Amino acid sequence: MPSGPGAKLTDVAALAKVSVGTVSNVLNRPDQVSFDKRTRVLAAIEELGFVRNESARSLRSGSTRSLGMLVLDVRNPFFTDVALGAENVAEEHKHSLILANSAEDAGREQAYLELFEQQRVQGVLITPYGQVLQRLERMRDRGIPSVLVDRLASTDQFCSVSVDDVAGGATALQHLVSVGSVRPAFVGGPFTLQQVEDRYRGASDAAARAGVPLQLFETPDLKFERGRRIGDLIGNLQPDKRPDAVFAANDQLALGLLQSFAANGLRVPEDIAIIGFDDIDFASQSSIPLSSISQPRQLIGERAAQLLLDEIDAEPGQHVHSQVVFTPELVARQSTTGR
């Protein structure tokens, strides 16, 4: 009798002296099988080293017990933490999580959504980059719902989990003014990302209320290296033209700025203060601990995954879409408070 991966349902049934249907019920509906038969089947599975063929099972059922998750930048620790929260909830519900990286590329984003459909995932968690809502609607019509992550849904046809980025941007700018900034700047981009647009809008409104001008240094992405390049640009400005404080759209940019300023002989925060956004772990561990606007990273992932599973389990037409919005919080550290 075959054993290990070669063992089949029929082999398990023969060894346990039950029908193939009983073995299937033990695997999928154990509550419908008597204790005695269930015990014999489990013992046979253990003895033969039987491994269920999930690929074949998914072909029969039309879906897998998998969730797809597509983020903007898998190298960004913020998204790593969000994914960890989602994975924890998926695991609790006996689902696996397939993590993919759009790398802020619309074509790559579309390719991964196509792959998720081919893999027959039960649902998708996505931080959108391109214009994907119509595509997500078509996927939902085919039985694959989606939840937007780190992005407030612009329609009540989707669930979403996000933070109030406008409020976060305002909080960051208000903090810079409170520590004495009169020439603050915003560093971030692209503005096609709603998060960047909202954070800048919040900072711009707060600057107007405080009566201070807000310089803008727009970037094509939010990566660490981009922060270094902008930091070199700022460091080469004349002192009277140089901002005295910077609000970076995320912590990766802020950490790149911090490294550049140190290399250019600028003291942080005495010459120029810095605050970021996300409060990733590296923010508190940098050579000069970085002030940041904190998001509940794992909680965002947990809530998003739970909303997705709720929609998957709901009867057709019975799911009520929710838009969960967390309030970000200021975490002030030496990069601003050391003045």
Specify which residues 329 forms β-bridges with: 294
Q: What is the pTM of this model?
A: 0.79
Confidence grade of residue 286 (pLDDT, cut at 50, 70, 90):
very high
User: Is the predicted pLDDT of residue 181 greater than 70, yes or no?
Assistant: yes
Q: 252 versus 30: which is more confidently predicted?
A: 252
Confidence grade of residue 60 (pLDDT, cut at 50, 70, 90):
very low
Please report the pLDDT score of residue 59 as a whole number: 45
Q: 291-294 and 329-331: which strand pairing?
A: antiparallel
| Average pLDDT over all residues of the chain | 91
Instruction: Give, in order, the Cα–Cα distances in Å from 40 to each of 37, 43, 46, 126, 245.
Output: 5, 5, 10, 43, 70
Give the total residue count for the chain.
Answer: 339
Q: 101 versus 64: which is more confidently predicted?
A: 101
Give residue 150's region: left, alpha or beta (phi > 0; psi -120 to 50).
left
User: Is the predicted pLDDT of residue 96 greater than 90, yes or no?
Assistant: yes
